[in-house]
């Protein structure tokens, strides 16, 4: 992958993190939030952050 592809990947993952954080915020405002769903989104955010770190390492090469 080229530099542009890594940058595009990073931007995409950052957007996904924001989307998932917004979903978590909305879910937490409910009377009975689905904690399992929130946990799932949090795990995905961690995976996205890991993907960003890997892409940043590739950019430094």
Residue pLDDT, tens place only, 4-13: 899 999 999 9
- Are 10 and 48 a contacting pair, CB within 8 Å? no
Per-residue pLDDT tens digits for 1-37:
688 899 999 999 999 999 999 999 999 999 999 999 9
Using a cut of 0.85, tell me whether the model's pTM lies above it: yes
- Are 51 and 13 a contacting pair, CB within 8 Å? yes
From residue 37, how far is each of 2, 8, 32 by CA, in Å?
Answer: 35, 27, 12
pLDDT, position 3: 87
- Report H helices in the chain: 3-28, 35-60
Q: What are the boundaries of each domain within the chain?
A: 3-60
Q: Would you state the structure tokens that stand for residue 51, as one six-digit string?
A: 């993907």
């Amino acid at each position: 992958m080229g530099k542009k592809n890594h940058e595009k990947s990073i931007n995409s993952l950052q957007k996904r993190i924001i989307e998932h954080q917004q979903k978590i915020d909305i879910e937490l405002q409910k009377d009975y939030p689905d904690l399992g769903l929130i946990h799932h989104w949090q795990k995905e955010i961690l995976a996205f952050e890991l993907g960003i770190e890997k892409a940043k390492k590739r950019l430094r090469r």
